[in-house]
Structure 1
Amino acid sequence: MADHRADGPWWRTRRVWVVAGAGVLVAAAASVALVAQASGAACAALAATSGQATYYAADGSGNCSFDQVAEPLVVALGNAEYRGGAACGGYLDVKGPKGTVRVKVVDRCPECAAGHLDLSRQAFAKIGNVSDGIIAVSYSQVVNPAVPGPVTVRVKEGASRYWLALRFDNTGNPVAQAEVRSGDGWKALARTDYNYWIAESGAGNGPFTVRVTDTQGRQTTLNGVALSPGVVQRPGATASPRTSAPGRSPSPSVIASASPAAPTSAGAPESMSAALAGTSAPESTSVSGASARC
Structure 2
Amino acid sequence: MAIQGTAFLIVGLVISSCFFSMAFAVSGTATYYTDYSTNACYNNVDQGKIIAAASDDVWDGGAACGRMYSVTCTGATNQGVPQPCTGASVTVKIVDYCPAGCQGTLDLSQEAFSQIADVNAGKIYIDYTQV
Same fold (TM over 0.5): yes
- Structure-1 residue corresponding to 2:126: 137
Tell me, what secondary structure is at the counterpart of 2:45?
Answer: coil
State the SS of the aligned residue for 2:60: helix
**Counterpart position of 2:31:** 54
Offset of residue 47 of structure 1: 1.3
Unaligned runs of 5+ in 1: 1-43, 143-294
CA 1:67 to 1:109, structure 2 compared with 1: closer, same or farther past 3 Å? same
SS in structure 2 at match of 1:107: strand
**SS of equivalent residue, structure 1 residue 88:** coil
Q: Which secondary structure does the structure 2 equivalent of 1:63 belong to?
A: coil
User: Please, which of 98, 103, 119 is the counterpart of residue 92 of structure 2?
Assistant: 103
Number of paired residues?
A: 97
Question: 1:122, 1:48 → 2: CA distance?
Answer: 22
Higher relative contact order (CA 8 A, sep 6+): 2
The percent of aligned pairs where both chains have the same amino acid is 39
Task: State the Cα RMSD in Å.
Answer: 2.2
Give the Cα–Cα distance (whole angstroms) in 1 for the partners of residues 60 and 69 of structure 2.
15
Match of 2:46 among 68, 71, 93: 68
- Asked which structure has the greater CA Rg, the reply is 1
Shift of 1:79: 2.0
Rounded Cα–Cα distance in structure 1 between residues aligned with 2:109 and 2:35:
5
Q: Describe the shift of the 1:67–1:45 C-alpha distance in structure 2 as closer, same or farther (beyond 3 A).
A: farther
- Give the aligned residue type for 1:136: Y
Give 1:232's aligned residue. none
Distance 1:101 1:126 in 2: 7
Q: Which string of whole-angstrom CA distances, capped at 9 and with x for unpartnered residues, describes residues 103-130 of structure 1?
A: 00011111237x7110000000000001
- Residue type of the partner of 2:60? R
After superposing the two structures, state which structure 1 stretch, 78-87 or 89-98, moved more.
78-87
1:68 Cα deviation from its structure 2 partner: 1.2
Any conservation in 1 of the 2:98–2:107 contact (CA below 8 Å)? yes
Q: Aligned-pair distance for 1:45? A: 8.8
The structure with the greater share of residues assigned to helix is 2
Partners of 1:61 and 1:72 in 2: how far apart? 12
Shift of the alpha carbon at 1:59? 2.4
The answer (yes or no) to whether the contact 2:58–2:105 under 8 Å persists in 1 is no
Which residue of the partner structure matches residue 83 of structure 1? 60
Structure 1-normalised TM-score?
0.31
